[in-house]
Amino acid sequence: MNTLAVVHHHRELPDTPYNLWMQDELADVLDLPHDGTRVEIIGGEIIVSPGPDMAHNFIVQDIADAIAAARSQNPGFRWRCVSAQDLDLSDIHDGYIPDLCVLDKGIADQARRAQLKKARPEHLQLALEVTSPSTVHEDRLPGKRRVKPTKWSGYARVGIPYYLLVDRDPKAARTTLFSDPDTSKGVYSASVSWEFGEAVKLPEPFGLEIPTDIWEPWQQGG
């Protein structure tokens, strides 16, 4: 089942959705199954989505592998990554689970030693989202299908320097790197895109090239 639900409550919650999410209690309060179902707060709304498919997960792994390869080839490469990490956007009372968070090695080491449960926007240099049929309108710029703030808006609002969006929609299959966030407006003012099959070239401070030869859109009706 590949559906997304925006949860509207007809009963009173014991606390705000954001506070429950921060306390890792929101999923249990909503009686969600522990089967990979994700619950996030996006634009102030509770968003429940199923776990992604393997094609989605392998794209995330491809990007993580490229970062790991750069690290092994260059001891001075300072970037580390972690997948499916809770991200607390306290300034806007949202809570996301990016597909991949990219952090400076020093910050990553500090977070590891502190045994942090949730990352903060100031920890991240780049956030990655790979779209699925159920989440695509939450990951993109606001539009007709979702006029409320999306993850694109939220990442910009909290000042994450780079947002990498791999859009698997067959009608718009491409990878886009958004940069230059305007925190007052909640928008990214610059972007560059690559079609599937073209190498994604992340600029400095990453200086990283990611092949996309085997990336494919999701299947129609999937």
pLDDT confidence tier of residue 145, bands split at 50, 70 and 90 = confident
Residue-wise pLDDT for 3-60, tens only, equals: 455 554 545 788 999 999 999 999 999 999 888 899 999 999 999 999 899 999 999 9
Instruction: State which CATH number among 3.40.47.10, 3.30.360.10, 3.10.200.10, 3.90.1570.10 fits the domain covering 52-210.
Output: 3.90.1570.10
Residues 102, 40: Cα–Cα separation, whole Å: 19
Which of 97-109 are b and which e, b meaning 16 or more Cβ less than 10 Å from the residue's Cβ? Answer: bbbbbbbeeebbe
Residue 82 has pLDDT above 50, yes or no: yes
Residue-wise pLDDT for 149-206, tens only, equals: 999 999 999 999 999 999 999 999 999 999 999 999 999 999 999 999 999 999 999 9
SS3 119: strand
Name the token pair of 20: 């429950």
Distances (CA, A) of 92 to 10, 32, 69, 150, 210: 24, 24, 35, 12, 32
Residues 102, 85: Cα–Cα separation, whole Å: 11
Residues 152, 85: Cα–Cα separation, whole Å: 17
Residue 2 has pLDDT above 50, yes or no: no
Could you tell me what percent of the chain has a pLDDT over 70?
A: 94
DSSP letter (8 states) at residue 10: S
Q: What are phi and psi of 217, to 5 degrees?
A: -65, 160
Residues 41, 9: Cα–Cα separation, whole Å: 14
Model pLDDT, residue 222: 47
Enumerate the CATH 3.90.1570.10 domain ranges in the chain, comma separated: 52-210
Residue 112, amino acid: R
